[in-house]
Amino acid sequence: MNRNTRGFTLMELVVTVAIIGTLAAFAVPAYLDAQQNGKANKALETMNTIGSAIVNKYTSVAHYGVGDGNALAQLKSTGSAWTDMIDETVLIEYDRGAGVVQITTLDLFKDGVPKSPFGSGWQFYVHADSIGEASWSGNPPELVITSVPMFKIRDKNQQLVLAEYTL
């Protein structure tokens, strides 16, 4: 039997393992970064879906006022804290004259709030002075907006994944 046809030498195996190890040292972190970036992009896409649904619903009920003289529906203030966005979270309030109507996330998403790609939930934030106000004035009546509402959405456990919306 010829000695050259029996297999690999120890040196060939060491060099091969070293090359594979070097490639893995560069490829694995790049793969993990790409995976995190993909999740962050999916999270932003989902937040835009949630934000668009809130904006569309707000726009559709905006002419109903809350309280005397107001002409806009209002975003429900969360004060100075982030609120977990679950199916019962109140997002918008308005009054048609027969009492305050509340719009929850379940009213916007029949199957519940879309899931986060990070496996956590979403949080919603509306500062107390950012609920929006307007009134009708003049003859003929004209809508005068005195405060433009703004809200934020973020991933519960990835708080740097954040989106802000102004209506």
pLDDT in tens, 6-56: 788 999 999 999 999 999 899 999 898 999 889 989 999 999 999 999 988
- Which is more confidently placed, 63 or 22? 22
Cis ω for the linkage preceding 114 (within 30 of 0): no
Query: Cβ distance 151 to 75 under 8 Å?
Result: yes
Taking a C-beta distance cutoff of 8 angstroms, is the pair 92, 76 a contact?
A: yes
- Who contacts 101 (Cβ-Cβ below 8 Å, separation ≥6)? 61, 64, 93, 94, 95
Per the document, the length of the chain is 167
Question: 130 pLDDT band (50/70/90 cuts)?
Answer: confident
Domain boundaries, the chain: 10-166
- Residues facing 162 on adjacent strands: 154
Distance CA 68, CA 74 (A): 13
Q: Indicate if the pLDDT at residue 71 is higher than 70.
A: no
Which contacts of 17-23 are long-range, i.e. CB under 8 A and separated by 24 or more positions? none
Alpha helices in 62-163 (DSSP H): 105-108
Question: CA triplet 131, 155, 165: central angle to 5 degrees?
Answer: 35
Q: Is the pLDDT of residue 1 over 60?
A: no
- What is the pLDDT confidence band of residue 65, given thresholds at 50, 70 and 90? low
Mean local confidence (pLDDT), 63-70: 62
Res. 76: pLDDT tops 90: no
Instruction: List pLDDT tens digits, range 88-114.
Output: 899 988 877 778 889 999 999 988 889
Average pLDDT of every residue of the chain: 85
pLDDT above 60 for 132: yes
- Higher model confidence: residue 68 or residue 30? 30
> Is residue 156 pLDDT above 80, yes or no?
yes
pLDDT exceeds cutoff 90 at 120: no
